[in-house]
Amino acid sequence: IRNFSIIAHIDHGKSTLADRILEFTKAVSAREMRDQVLDDMDLEREKGITIKAKAIRLDYVASDGKKYILNLIDTPGHVDFTYEVARSLVACEGTLLVVDACQGVEAQTLANAYLAKENNLKIIPVINKIDLPNADILSVKRQIMEIMNVDEGAILQTSAKLGKGIKEVLEAIVHQIPPPRGSPDEPLSALVFDSVFDPYRGAVIYVRVFDGTLRQGMKIKMMSTGKVFEVNELGVFHLKMVSAPSLEAGEVGYLVAGIKDIHSVKIGDTITDPSRPKAEPYGRLREVKPFVFCGLYPVDTGDYEHLKKALERLRLNDASFEYQAEDSVLGYGFRCGFLGLLHMDIIRERLEREYNLALVITAPNVVYRIKKVKGRKKKKKVSPEEESEIIYINNPADFPPENEIAEIAEPFVRVTIILPGEFLGGVMKLMEKRRAKFISMKYINPQRVILTYELPLAEMIAGFYDRLKSVSHGFASLDYQHIGYKAGDLAKLVILINYQPVEALSVILPREKAYYRAQKIAKELKEVIPRQQIPVPIQAKIENKIIARETIRAFRKDVIAKLYGGDITRKRKLLEKQKEGKKKMKRLGKVDVPQEAFLTFLKFNEEE
């Protein structure tokens, strides 16, 4: 048995290489073959990206005449789905690191290589797309040798599109990647590395067996919850799931145990035999926390329960996604947490397509850490004991009053950007605008540079990726790691419409940018909120200070149009009557904020 995965930067040809390996090992017939054969989600095929990691079992007879079982796990390449890659690598002993012969080493190539090294995997570097006219194989070889410390002879060359070099790749897998360790006679230890929900069978759990044997009909215990279930079905992954009587140490497969409660399955959990349990869980997967939050609301309030069920099912096979119920001026909905903006976009699209939901999304924001002053109002000097209470908030509506706050800290990320040297000036200027701190600059070769910066995560979710692609003409690639919290001069900007605060439009931002942002938001909202019978003020305030204001003028009926000449007192009388009516309206009037206002706010992309 050989368990391996394919890792690479986005668009370097992982899924195409997987297609060719499947064809070469005859795992897929010519009739079943299509591009991106393992990407079975419509979204994956449309966007040309892998979102969910996929597993498949192949049979291969090597040139030495021995028959091998290969378990291949195809992984995503986008930075938001690094967690999917980490989960896949835990189930493997080795990996193919694919690099595009034209693009060379990119940010995710580096990140994935480090991830594989952390897991002590055997890495086989593969240069793909060697058939392209602008392929620069020598330069890419040097880049790989620089970052991986490998000899030139260890680097394989393929053209997945034309099927060149596939046999060499398979030979390297069977001869360089070690076989799985573990004994079928030891107590059962199997790692849950993924799960999907089937409406008829319940949770289908993807497992890698490290020790012992899983058999149909046996009892299993989830080590994190202590719950015991009976295995109804076991099997392995060919192109479709194929039933098997047992799974032994080293094998990758799936199990069904009639688990209807989706909360009973945790990704990274260890499965053992309750009659002969493993002493310690197999702890190699760290729990991942979402970093970007937003509100998700159904356009039709009657869809609330439908949305709740849909989120429960998505949560089952996406451990990095979380949600909780909330209500606001938009009605009843959910506060959802994601790993990044692409992750958020994919979840939204899946809800709309797979569950036929129409949704409104509030502006995304990050999780802030607030140190509260305990027991008294804020003074200039506060002892550490008094500011000991720490809270984390992901919704501006939960922001405590200003006089209770000792310190606000926001999450920071270390960003690695790889780009051609000619775009260095534009990218450095962009980073300066985004409150970034320069860390280092290194040339991989005379043309390509690695830049390292530290910057607030909040700056990355406000159109940063699009701006980076724009200033680098699409050539820059990006990776980031979370490095913890840093205190800053931040404040809550509250939007008031007709003197009433609208929490769904509140944002937390650096004080230095508050005035510009407030002016822009007020102007944008003035355009989309319909006129009323009374003037409607739109205000933006920080603490108790109004820093921006726009007024939507009222409709005014011409009440004196029907008078021709006559005494001026008659005109005054009619105008006074109108004025009284408007006053009463002002006192009782409530302005409904249309959904377009929230959408405009979402599209608003700050760029000084």
Which of 77-86, 108-117, 224-233, 552-561 has the least mean pLDDT? Answer: 77-86
CATH architecture of 368-487: 2-Layer Sandwich (3.30)
Look at residue 44 in the predicted model and tell me its pLDDT. Answer: 44
Please check whether residue 14 is in contact with residue 108, taking contact to mean a CB–CB distance below 8 angstroms. no
The token pair at 20 is 């060719």
Look at residue 171 in the predicted model and tell me its pLDDT. Answer: 92
User: pLDDT tens for residues 464-515?
Assistant: 877 887 888 877 888 888 888 999 888 888 888 888 888 777 888 888 888 8
Instruction: Tell whether the model's pLDDT for residue 262 goes beyond 70.
Output: no
Fold for the domain defined by 292-363:
Alpha-Beta Plaits (3.30.70)
Instruction: Tell whether the model's pLDDT for residue 375 goes beyond 70.
Output: no
Please check whether residue 155 is in contact with residue 144, taking contact to mean a CB–CB distance below 8 angstroms. yes
The predicted model gives 197-213 an average pLDDT of 85
Look at residue 606 in the predicted model and tell me its pLDDT. Answer: 43
Fold for the domain defined by 2-176:
Rossmann fold (3.40.50)
- DSSP summary character for residue 423: G
> Would you kindly state where each structural domain of the chain is located, as residue ranges?
2-176, 189-272, 292-363, 368-487, 492-603
Strand, helix or coil for residue 340: coil
The predicted model gives 268-279 an average pLDDT of 83
Looking at the domain that runs over 492-603, which CATH code has it been given?
3.30.70.2570
Instruction: Tell whether the model's pLDDT for residue 93 goes beyond 80.
Output: yes
Instruction: Tell whether the model's pLDDT for residue 101 goes beyond 60.
Output: yes
The token pair at 197 is 């929900």
Closest Cα to residue 35, out of 55, 47, 20?
A: 20
Cα separation, 478 vs 472, in Å, equals 12
Look at residue 349 in the predicted model and tell me its pLDDT. Answer: 83
Look at residue 608 in the predicted model and tell me its pLDDT. Answer: 40
Fold for the domain defined by 189-272:
Elongation Factor Tu (Ef-tu); domain 3 (2.40.30)
Look at residue 92 in the predicted model and tell me its pLDDT. Answer: 86
Tell me what the pLDDT averaged over the chain comes to: 80
- pLDDT above 70 as % of the chain: 83
Question: Taking the CB of residue 365, how many other CB atoms lie within 10 A of it?
Answer: 23
Q: Do the domains at 368-487 and 492-603 have one common CATH topology?
A: yes
Model confidence band, residue 122 (pLDDT cutoffs 50, 70, 90) = very high
Closest Cα to residue 449, out of 411, 419, 413, 492?
A: 419
Model confidence band, residue 52 (pLDDT cutoffs 50, 70, 90) = very low
DSSP string, 61-101: E-TTS-EEEEEEEE---SGGGHHHHHHHHHT-SEEEEEEET
User: pLDDT tens for residues 315-344?
Assistant: 766 667 888 888 776 778 888 888 777 788
The predicted model gives 415-441 an average pLDDT of 90
Model confidence band, residue 47 (pLDDT cutoffs 50, 70, 90) = very low
